[in-house]
Chain A
Amino acid sequence: MLVCDGISRWFGGVRALADVSISINRGEICGLVGPNGSGKTTIVNAVTGFYPPQKGRILFEDKSLVGLKPHRIAKLRIARTFQNLALFRGMSVLDNIMMGRHIHMQPSALATFFYWAWAERDELRQRELVEDTIDFLQLQDVRDAPIEVVPLGLQKRIELARALVAEPRLLILDEPMAGMNQEEKEYMARFILDAREERGLTVLLIEHHMDVVAALCDRVTVLSYGEKLAEGAPSEALSDPKVVAAYLGSKKRHAA
C-alpha cells in the first residue's frame, strides 16, 4: 500500500535518512522504532510532504507522493497525528474534530453567507458522522470544552479522533502514547486495535513503549542513525542483537 523505496534526506550536513526502504501492506499495523534522532519522524514528514526526500521514491497505492504538497497528500486519505500535539487552540473539542472532515466538505465563503440555505445541511450531516467517532473514542463529556482545558491524555485521543473522522486509508501515529500513564496507554492501544477492526485501517505506528509495539504491531522496522537496522515480526526484530546494541549500547562500544 505504502512503499518507500530508498529514500534519503539531508538537513544541511546532517544525514537524517540514508537509503531507507519500508513498505506497509493493507490492513497492517506497522511499527517504526528506533532511538531518538534515528529518523522515524523524518520518514513520516517525508511521506506527508513536509520534507520530501531528496532521493528515492514514495508510492501510495501506486501514486508517487514526492513533490506533492501536504494538503494534497491529505486528500489522498493519509492522516497523521503529531508527537507533540497539533490541535487548534481557540476552538472547542468538537470543532477540532470537525476540522478532520475538511477534505469531505466544500467550505466556501458564499455558502457561509447563505448559511441557512446552503452550508447548514452539510454541517449537520458531517456532525452526525463526527458524533460516531466521538462515541467510539468516548469523548462525549469534553465535546463542548475549549481545547486548552482538556488534559493531555484526552488531547491525544482528540487528535486521534480528528485523524479518524477523515476516514483515512493510512493512519500515521507519531508517538500516540508519549507522556501517558499505564491506564491511558491501554485505552489508546484498545482504540487503535478497534479502529483497525471496525474501519479497516492501515496504521504506521511510531512508539517508544516496547511493550505496546510488541503487542500491537504485525511488523516492525527498526531505525538507527537514519539507517534500517532490522525488520520483521516484533519478537524477532526487537531481539536482534544489532537492535539491542543500538538501544542499550554494546560491550564493544564501551571497550573502545
Chain B
Amino acid sequence: MFYRLAGIRHTSYRSARRLFPVPFDRWLLLAVLALAVVAPFFLSKLHLNSYLLPWVIWATAALGLNLLMGFAGQIHLGYAAVMAIGAYTAIHAVRAGVPFELGLIAGGLVSSVIGLVFGAAALRVKGLYLAVTTLAMQSIVDWIIVHVPVISGGSQATLQAPAIRVLGQPVLSDEGRYWIALVVCVLVTSFLLNTRRTSFGRALVAVREKDFAAAIIGVSPFRYKLLAFWCSSFIGGVAGAVLAFCYYQAVTPEQFHLEVSIQAVAMVIVGGLGSVLGSFFGAGLVLLAPIFLNNLVGWIAATLSLPVGPEVLSHIPLVLYGGLIVGFLLFEPLGLAKIYDNLRNYFYVWPFRHARH
C-alpha cells in the first residue's frame, strides 16, 4: 500500500544498481537529511547537544565497526581504543598547528595504522580468540595513553580541544560543531552504502561467509580481513576525533574505556549486523533509551507519587534498558534494522497478507 514497486522499470544497469530503487525511499532519505540539516533551528540546545549530536557521532562510529563486524565478520572488542587513538592524534595535531580537516584525517590514518598492526597479529586467530586478542588491544592502548604523559598530559589530565577552524573560519557555535559531525556522518554513510554494491564490499562479505570459497575465486582472505580492519579503524579514528572535538571538546582516557567498546559492539548488534540503517537505530537505542527510560520512570513515579527511594528509582531504568535489548534480540535476532524491514514489507501489500518479498 505504501510502497509502489509497480511501474518501476529499469532500462539500464545504472538505474538497476541505484542505492534506492524505490522512489519513496529516495524521498524519505532526502526528507530525513533535510530535517537533520535544519535540526539546530528547531531543537533546543539541550536536545541538540545531548541527544542529536552524540547520536550522529556514535552512528558514524557504529558504521565503522559494522564494516568490520557486519560486512567482514570479524569481531572487535577494542573499538574504543581505536577511537581514542584518533581523538588524541587529532587533538595533538591541531594543537601543533595542523588544520582541523587534516587533523581529522591524520587521526584516522594513525588509528588505521595502529589498528592494522594489531589486526595483523589478531587475525592469526578466529572467532572468540580474535575477540580476546582485540580485548588486549584495548588494554594496551588504554595503558599507553594513561602512562605516557606526552600523549595524555598525565594520568588524570584532560586535554582541551583547540578551537576548530574549517577552511580558515573559526567554528564556535553548537550548530557549527553539529554540522561538522553531520558532514562526517553523511560521508561515512555514503561509503558504507556504496560498499554494498562494489567488488570491495562483495569480497568482504565473501570472506565472512566462506573464506575458502573466496580464495578459490581469487580473493585473498587475509588481505581483505586486514583491509576491513584498516577501513574500520580509519572510520573509528575519525569518529573518535569528531567525538573529542565536537562533543566533549576535550579528551580524557576515561572517555574511551572498555565499556565504551562494549557499547559500540552493542550498537552494531542491536541495530543489525551488516545494516547501514541498523547502525543508526542501534546507536539511537543504546544512547537514548537510558535517557528516555530515566525520564519516563521519573515521570511515572512523580505523577503516581510512588513511595520509592532514589536508589531504586535510578536502577529501574537500567533494568528496563537491559530487558529492552534482550527483548529486541529475542524478537528479531537480526536487529532493529530487520524489524524495520519486516514492517516495511508488511505494509508493501497491506491490507493483504502475503508479500512476494
A residues near B, CB below 8 A? 48-50, 69-71, 74-75, 79-80, 82, 86-91, 95, 98-103, 105-109, 111-113, 115, 119-120, 122-124, 126-128, 131, 162-163, 166
Contacts of A88 in B (CB 8 A): 205-206, 209-210, 213-214
**A124 vs B14: C-alpha distance when bound (angstroms):** 7
Residues of B near A89 (CB, < 8 A) are 209
How would residues 210 to 221 of chain B score, 1 for a CB under 8 Å from any chain A CB and 0 otherwise? 101111111111
Tell me whether A103 and B202 are in contact (CB under 8 A).
no
User: Does B191 have its Cβ within 8 Å of any Cβ on chain A?
Assistant: yes
Contact (Cβ within 8 A) B216 A48: yes
B345 within 8 A of A: no
Q: Which partner residue on chain A sits nearest B12 by CB separation? A: A124
- Report how far A90 CA is from B227 CA in the complex, Å: 20
Smallest CB gap from B220: residue in A:
A71
- Contact status A162-B217, CB under 8 Å: yes
Given contacts A99-B214, A113-B187, 7 further A-B contacts (CB under 8 A): A74-B217, A82-B213, A86-B213, A95-B202, A103-B217, A105-B199, A120-B14
Closest to B73 in A: A90
Interface SS of chain B: helix
**A residues in contact with B227, CB < 8 Å:** 109
A-B contact pairs, 30 of them (CB 8 A): A48-B216, A69-B215, A71-B214, A71-B219, A79-B217, A82-B216, A86-B210, A88-B205, A88-B209, A89-B209, A98-B199, A99-B214, A99-B219, A102-B202, A102-B203, A102-B219, A103-B218, A107-B203, A108-B200, A109-B191, A109-B195, A112-B200, A115-B197, A119-B199, A123-B17, A123-B199, A124-B17, A127-B17, A162-B217, A166-B218
Contact B17 A86 (CB under 8 A): no
Please give, as numbers and ranges, the residues of chain B lying within 8 Å of A74 by CB-CB distance. Answer: 215-218
Q: Are A101 and B216 in contact (CB under 8 A)?
A: no
Pairwise interchain contact B212-A86, C-beta atoms closer than 8 A:
yes
B194 within 8 A of A: yes
Residues from chain A with a CB closer than 8 A to the CB of B203 are 99, 102, 107
Cβ–Cβ contact B217 & A99, under 8 A: yes
Of all A-B residue pairs in the complex, the 3 with the closest CB atoms, nearest first, are A86-B213, A74-B218, A103-B218
* Cβ–Cβ contact A70 & B216, under 8 A: yes
| Cβ B217 vs Cβ A166 within 8 A | yes
Q: Is the CB of B216 within 8 A of A86?
A: yes
Asked if B217 contacts A100 (CB within 8 A), the reply is: yes
Q: How many B residues face the partner with a CB closer than 8 A?
A: 34
The interface residues of chain A lying within 8 Å CB-to-CB of B216 are 48, 70-71, 74, 79-80, 82, 86
Q: Is there an interface contact between A107 and B198, defined as CB atoms closer than 8 Å?
A: yes
Minimum CB–CB distance for B225 against chain A, Å: 13
Which of A48, A50, A69, A131 meets B220, CB within 8 Å?
A: A69
Q: Return the chain B residue nearest A76 by Cβ.
A: B218
User: What total of A-B pairs shows CB separation below 8 Å?
Assistant: 118
List of B residues within 8 angstroms of A100 by Cβ: 217
- Whole-angstrom distance between the alpha carbons of A74 and B219 in the complex? 9
Contacts of B205 in A (CB 8 A): 88, 90-91, 95
Q: Is the CB of B198 within 8 A of A115?
A: yes
CA A131 – CA B213 in complex, angstroms?
22
Q: For the complex, give the distance between the alpha carbons of A70 and B221 in Å.
A: 10
Closest Cβ–Cβ distance, residue A102 to chain B (whole Å): 5
Give A120 to B17 CA distance when docked, in angstroms.
9
Is B13 close to A, CB under 8 A?
Answer: yes
The answer to whether B335 has its CB under 8 Å from any CB of chain A is: no
Cβ contacts B1-35/A at 8 Å (1 or 0 each): 00000000000011001000000000000000000
In the assembly, what is the distance between CA of A122 and CA of B14, in Å? 11
The complex places the Cα of A115 from the Cα of B328 at a distance, in Å, of 34
Asked if B278 is at the interface of the complex by the 8 Å CB criterion, the answer is no
- B274 contacts A by Cβ under 8 Å: yes
| Residue B78 is within 8 A (CB to CB) of chain A in the complex | no
- If A86-B212, A102-B199, A112-B201 touch, whether A127 touches B194 (CB-CB below 8 Å) is no
Q: For the complex, what is the distance from the CA of A69 to the CA of B219, rounded to whole Å?
A: 11
Residue from A79, A105, A112 whose CB has the most chain B CB atoms within 10 Å: A112
Given contacts A90-B274, A91-B205, contact A102 B198 (CB under 8 A): no
A115-B194 in contact (CB<8A): yes
- A111: which B residues are within 8 A, CB to CB? 198, 200
Q: What is the minimal beta-carbon distance from A14 to any residue of chain B, in angstroms?
A: 21
A36 to B191, CA, bound (A): 48
B231 interface residue (CB < 8 Å to A): yes
B252 to chain A: closest CB distance in Å?
31
Interchain CA distance A115-B190 in the complex, whole Å: 9
Contact between A102 and B218, CB atoms less than 8 A apart: yes
What's the nearest-Cβ distance from chain A to residue B156, in Å?
Answer: 38
Interface centre among B13, B195, B201, B227 (most CB of A within 10 A): B13
Once bound together, how far apart are the Cα atoms of A71 and B224, in whole Å?
12
Task: Answer whether A128 and B218 are a contact pair too, CB < 8 Å, given A112-B200, A115-B198, A119-B198.
Answer: no
Residues of B within 8 A of A79 (CB): 216-217
Residue in B closest to A124 when the chains form the complex, CB atoms: B13
Nearest chain A CB to B336 CB, angstrom units: 18
Kindly list chain B residues whose C-beta atoms are within 8 Å of the C-beta of A122. 199
Q: When the two chains form the complex, which single residue of A70, A90, A163 contacts B209, counting CB atoms closer than 8 Å?
A: A90
What residue of chain B has the Cβ atom nearest to residue A89's Cβ? B209
B199 to chain A, nearest CB (A): 4
A84 to chain B, nearest CB (A): 11
Smallest Cβ-Cβ distance to B19: which chain A residue: A115
User: Is the beta-carbon distance between A99 and B202 smaller than 8 angstroms?
Assistant: yes
Smallest CB separation, B278 vs chain A (Å): 14
Q: How far is the CB of A142 from chain B (nearest CB, A)?
A: 13
A50 to B199, CA, bound (A): 24
